[in-house]
Amino acid sequence: MSKFVDRPRYTCALGGAIGTLINLPRVIPVLHAAAGCGGNIANALNGAAGYLGSGYCSGQALPSSNVYENEIVFGGEGRLTEQIANTLKVVDGDLYVVVTGCMVEMIGDDAKSVARKFAGNRAPVLAADTGGFKGNSFKGYDIVLELLFRELVIKNQSKDPKTVNLWGIVPIQDVFWKGNLEVLKTLLEKLGYRVNTFFGEGETLDNLKNAASAVFNIVVSDTAGVEPARVFEEEHGTPFITVPFPIGTYGTEQFLNAVGKALGIEEAFINRLIQEEKKHFYSYLERLADVYNDLDLQRYAVVVGDSNYAQALTRFLADDLGWLPELVVVTDLLTENEQERVTARFGNYLSPIRPKLVFDSDTSSVKKHLFNHWPINRNQRYYDGFNPAFVVGSAFERDLADSLGAPHLSVTYPISNRVVLDRAYAGYTGALRLAEDLFSTLVGSR
Amino acid sequence: MSKKTKQIAIYGKGGIGKSTTTSNISAALAAAGYKVMQFGCDPKSDSTNTLRGGKYIPTVLDTLREKNTVKAEEVLFQGFGGVYCVEAGGPAPGVGCAGRGIITAVQLLKQLRVFDELDLDFVLYDVLGDVVCGGFAVPIREGIAEHVFTVSSADFMAIYAANNLFKGIQKYSNSGGALLGGVIANSINAPYAKEIIDDFVKQTSTQVVGYVPRSVTVTQSELQGKTTIEAAPNSEQAKVYQHLAQRIANHTDSKTPTPLDIQELREWAAKWADQLLAMETGEVRSAAASI
């Protein structure tokens, strides 16, 4: 028997697909699922992503076929046809994407052929098989991107050597996605590139439709968005690189060097940008040096989050703040290959620190792993306590932090104890925000 | 209080003669004075045809498709000898979920309490036989049928389907599900066919409740839209069915079968294949081989 899942940090493939679609400009998801799916997912997405809120055709206001037993027995294609037709009448959008739930996948409804009936519509109607059982939110993101790259992005476009596409930062799963995309886009713009991020500020659906004119694709993840990049390459002949999500000097330098190398940018040009950015970064960070030393703000740390954030946060804490990340728990469901790729990101720290790395999706396991790594106090006369400590994770880590008597900052999904608007943690400027938030937590009681 | 209704499920591979056999058993039981209902659990919805002069009846799911509630009288139709006929029905081929349809239909009839109100002696479920999903297992799950019989010929694929059904019965046997009454051996004409079935029931710890020979009388009756019991009540074939019905009526103790696993089943079939080949080529393998 497989084990139970303890407070998962993702929704299902359908949830991931909806989270992806509602953050594309003027794209309308049409759910083909039972009534509960849409409601539950909307709550999971809104409450767990820093109070995302809704907006146009989002949140609880999503078109859904709401299938009942009748549709399960006789097939729900008729109901879906009706739902699409009505949605086209009353909901104004530039692209409609049918996404399916478990029950209609199990009975074999052919959502794609239903969507094809609307081929003559002024806005395209597409369909993706996103039955929840296909995987978690990351899978839903991949499925939607693959669909859009295959069926929406216009083929045979001439390449513009100064345009790139950037993805791999999953909307909602990365609660700070919008700010993060903006930061990375701004950095690449400083290298003279136009950047399509699809989900970021000021993006339009035309950027996505014309994405094949980009000369390169940059996937800012070792896991999310990698399969879609392969699909993109197959469909449009655009090469791609994967780079880890960057926070702080080490990660962002690595990011810029990798992108520079892939695009054939002169090293000196990249280095000049890095130096400029670092100058700006340290001009602020150095102001903390006094208080860091006077109040002794160095901390042991536990980092809990998805593979994108875990490696970036650990790197930032160890190399930029000089903290001691002792335990890192990566909470994604990853294949062995993916685990290997992710593991490779936890090494070569500036200090001799070697954080203990664990792959485990269960929230209650974090404490167990910590005590395995750092023996618990059993009233020894001399005990080297895990203290002072800090927990960087999600809202789920509040209990762990309380039990350790440590402060806690929610950075990874789910985040229900903070409000997040355009905040970013990526790059150099994001790292300053993270330093502010971490140290503000420490001095908050003064 | 109403008497205890005996609920029986009859399974078998498609085309093996389940509906023919079930309808004749229903007709024979009705002719013997019992109150009987036959419940067709097959999306083809032709189980009760021969009880109703070859006419199709509106199915439970057809009725549900049109509206949300269904009354008993909309789906219950009396046929030969007063047998109550119900067809579960199902979606059009290739869409929806027939298995879920069977669950919906069976549960609806249970909710309507028709079994109690009609004061029935027997309910016979005639079920599509490969038990491909949970829906087709619903009549053998807790609280529906108590006894299961399976119709099988001596053909390997029919036996394979029967063995699969045994696996389903075994699975639900610990949780109050129906148990196996035995095998109704159908189309048994050649002597070796009887031997094959006899050997199979021995291997799987069950019994044969009746041997039904292939007969032109059955075909003639069905072409008239009737059961053999109705069309040729005095024929030899009718006697076979009457005998079978009596045996089922008297049956009380069902058991958990011991299905063969796939490897055992293949080996068992290979052994019979050798034996049939030997028979064909005239090789003597019986006690006389030593002469």
Give the mean pLDDT of chain B: 90
The secondary structure of chain B, three-state, reads CCCCCEEEEEEECCCCCHHHHHHHHHHHHHHCCCCEEEEEECCCCCCCHHHCCCCCCCCHHHHHHHCCCCCHHHHCEECHHHCEEEECCCCCCCCCCHHHHHHHHHHHHHHCCHHHHCCCCEEEEEEECCCCCHHHHHHHCCCCCCEEEEEECCCHHHHHHHHHHHHHHHHHHCCCCCEEEEEEEECCCCHHHHHHHHHHHHHCCCCEEEEECCCHHHHHHHHCCCCHHHHCCCCHHHHHHHHHHHHHHHCCCCECCCCCCHHHHHHHHHHHHHHHHHHHHCCCCCHHHHC
Write out pLDDT tens, residues A169-192: 999 999 999 999 999 999 999 999
- Residue numbers in B near A65 (CB within 8 A): none
Q: Is the pLDDT of residue A55 over 90?
A: no
Lowest mean pLDDT among A349-358, B64-73, B147-156: B64-73
Mean pLDDT of A37-52: 91
What is the percent of chain B where pLDDT is above 70?
Answer: 96
pLDDT, one tens digit per residue, over A320-339 is 999 999 999 999 989 999 99
Number of Cβ atoms within 10 Å of the Cβ of A155: 9
pLDDT tens-place string over residues B243-259: 999 999 999 999 999 99
| B35 is known as an active-site residue | no
3-class state of residue A349 by DSSP: coil
What is the rounded average pLDDT of the residues A295-299? 95
Q: What residues of chain A, 282 to 341, have a C-beta less than 8 Å from chain B?
A: none
Q: Which domains does chain B have, with CATH numbers?
A: 6-259 (3.40.50.300), 261-291 (no CATH)
Q: Tell if the CB–CB gap between B64 and A70 is shorter than 8 Å.
A: yes
Domains along chain A with CATH numbers: 13-151 (3.40.50.1980), 160-279 (3.40.50.1980), 297-415 (3.40.50.1980)
**CA of B65: which chain A residue's CA is closest?**
A70
Report the amino acid identity of residue A390: F
Q: Establish if A77 touches chain B: CB-CB under 8 angstroms.
A: yes
- pLDDT per position as a tens digit, A30-44: 999 999 999 999 988
Using alpha carbons, list the distances in angstroms from residue A148 to A35, A38, A73: 26, 21, 31
For B133-148, the pLDDT digits (tens) are: 888 888 887 678 899 9
Q: What is the biggest distance separating any 2 CA atoms in chain B, rounded to whole angstroms?
A: 74
- A211-230 burial, b at 16+ Cβ within 10 Å, e below that, comes to bbbbbbbbbbbbbbbbebbe
Mean pLDDT of A107-116: 92
User: Which chain B residue's Cα is nearest to A105?
Assistant: B96
Task: Chain B: give the shortest CA distance to residue A314, in Å.
Answer: 48
Weakest-pLDDT range from B53-57, B170-174, B177-181: B170-174
A109 at the B interface (CB within 8 A)?
A: yes
- B70 interface with A at CB cutoff 8 Å: no
Name the active-site residue from B42, B62, B126, B130: B130
CA distance B91 to chain A (A): 5
B101 lies within 8 A of chain A by CB: yes
Please report the pLDDT score of residue A347 as a whole number. Answer: 87
Q: For residue B34, what pLDDT band results from cuts at 50, 70 and 90?
A: very high
Q: Which helix (H) or strand (E) holds A359?
A: strand A356-359
A75 → closest Cβ in B64, B95, B104:
B95
Q: Annotated catalytic, B199?
A: no
To the nearest whole Å, the CA of A70 is away from the closest chain B CA by 7
Least Cα separation, residue A67 to chain B (angstroms): 12
Taking CB atoms and an 8 Å limit, are B100 and A74 in contact across chains? no
For chain A, what is the mean pLDDT?
A: 94
Token couple for A355? 């954080």
Whether A78 and chain B come into contact, CB under 8 Å, resolves to no
For residue range A203-262, list pLDDT tens digits in order: 999 999 999 999 999 999 999 999 999 999 999 999 999 999 999 999 999 999 999 999
**A6: helix, coil or strand?**
coil
A72 shares contact with chain B (CB less than 8 Å): yes
User: Quick one: which of A128, A126, A125 has its CA closest to A99?
Assistant: A128
pLDDT reading at A438 higher than 80: yes
Res. A63: pLDDT tops 90: yes
Can you read off the two tokens belonging to residue A424?
A: 């970013």
pLDDT of residue B228: 96
Band the pLDDT of B1: cuts 50, 70, 90. Answer: very low
Amino acid identity of residue B179, one-letter, is: L
Tell me what percent of the residues of chain A surpass a pLDDT of 70: 99
The mean per-residue pLDDT over the stretch A128-143 comes to 95
Instruction: Give catalytic status of residue B271 as yes or no.
Output: no
Query: Hey, are the CB atoms on B61 and A74 less than 8 Å from each other?
Result: yes
In angstroms, the CA A165 to CA A208 distance is 9
User: What is the rounded distance in angstroms from the CA atom of residue B210 to the CA atom of residue A425?
Assistant: 77
